[in-house]
Amino acid sequence: MSLTESRSNHKWSEPAQLLEKAQQVISLSDSTPHAVDDLPSNGSFKVGVDLGTAYTVMVVLNEKGEPIVGEYQFTQIVRDGLVVDFIGAVDLLRAMKQRLQAKLGRTLSHAASGYPPGVPQAERAATAHVIEAAGMACQGLIDEPTAANNVLRIQDGVIVDIGGGTTGIAIFENGEVVYTADEATGGTHLSLVIAGANDISFEEAEALKKDPAEQSRLFPIVRLVMEKMGTIVEKHIRGSGARSIILVGGTPLFPGISEVISEITSLPTRVPSNPLFITPLGIAMHDWMN
C-alpha cells in the first residue's frame, strides 16, 4: 500500500483494500480493459459517475460495495463544477456506459453523481440531466466531500480535494461536513507552470507532470503552486480546531505535496493510496440499489 505521510507520529487508518481493488478494476478508457473477475450473474449494482474538470470517472460496485469495473477518461466537459459541454458529456458517458455494460453483460440503468459544495441547485440538476440523457436514472446526488467521506469515514478533520481546476476544502466534525470552500487553484495550474518553465504545450506539460521519472526534477518548479494551495487551505481552516488533513483527487498523486501542505498548515497531512478514485467510489456508494 502506498501511503505518503507527514508528521509520522500521527496514527491513520484507511480503507486500503477498497482503494486497491479500485486501482485494479478501474482502467483508462482507451487502455486494454482489465478482466472482470467474480462477475455477478444477478444481484444489484451501485453506479457512480464523477464528472470532473480533468477526468470523468464511472465506477460500478457489487452488492457488497466492492468495485468490480470502471473507467476514467481525460475530458473537458466541466469547469469549476459546472457542466459546460452538455452534448459532449452525454456522448462520453453513453460510450463509457456501453463499454462497461459490454464487460459486465448487464444493463446499467441508474447512477449517482456528485457536485462540488456550493454549486447552485440548477447546476446540480444539470449534472443529473447528463446522467439521464446518457440513459440512466439519477436518483442520488451527493456533495463531493461527503462522498469522499463515505470511503474515508473520518469523524473530525479536513478533506482537501485537489482536482484539475480547484482546491476544495471540507471540515468535518462528528462525521458531518460543517464548512466547505472551493478555490480556483488545481492541477491545471501545476501544468501551466511546467509548460511555461519548459516552453512546451499544456498537453505536453500534463504528460510530463504525470511521469514518475520527471516528478522529482519538476518539484521545485511546482512547489510554489503547492504552497499557494497550502495557503488556501490554511486560510479556510484557521481557528477551526481541525487537527489533521487528508488530500484526495488527482493532484495529490504528485509526490511531495502532502509535505508542502503540512509545512504551511502545521497539521499532519496524508495522501491515501489511489486518491483519484476516492470521490467516485463514495458517489457510487450513494447510488440506490435497483
Binding residue for ligand ATP (CB under 6 A) from 25, 49, 54, 60? 54
Residue among 157, 150, 183 nearest 245 (CA):
157
Answer whether 186's CB lies under 8 Å from 222's CB: no
Q: Is 97 in the site for ligand ATP (CB under 6 A)?
A: no
Q: Is 276 in the site for ligand ATP (CB under 6 A)?
A: yes
Stretch that binds ligand ATP, among 21-29, 48-56, 118-126, 195-203 (CB under 6 A): 48-56
Q: Is 164 in the site for ligand ATP (CB under 6 A)?
A: yes
Q: Is 52 in the site for ligand ATP (CB under 6 A)?
A: yes
Answer whether 184's CB lies under 8 Å from 166's CB: yes
Q: Is 146 in the site for ligand ATP (CB under 6 A)?
A: no
Binding residue for ligand ATP (CB under 6 A) from 251, 262, 269, 273? 251
Helices (H), the chain: 16-25, 86-104, 121-133, 144-152, 187-198, 202-209, 215-237, 257-265, 278-285
Residues 207-226 binding ligand ATP (CB under 6 A) are: 209-210
**Binding residue count for ligand ATP, defined by CB under 6 A:** 21
The span from the CA of 230 to the CA of 18, in Å, is 28
Binding residue for ligand ATP (CB under 6 A) from 160, 254, 281, 285? 254
Query: Which phi and psi angles does 211 have, rounded to 5°?
Result: -85, 115
Going by the DSSP 8-state scheme, the letter that residue 62 receives in this structure is -
Where does this chain bind ligand ATP (CB under 6 A)?
52-55, 78, 163-166, 186-188, 206, 209-210, 249-251, 253-254, 276
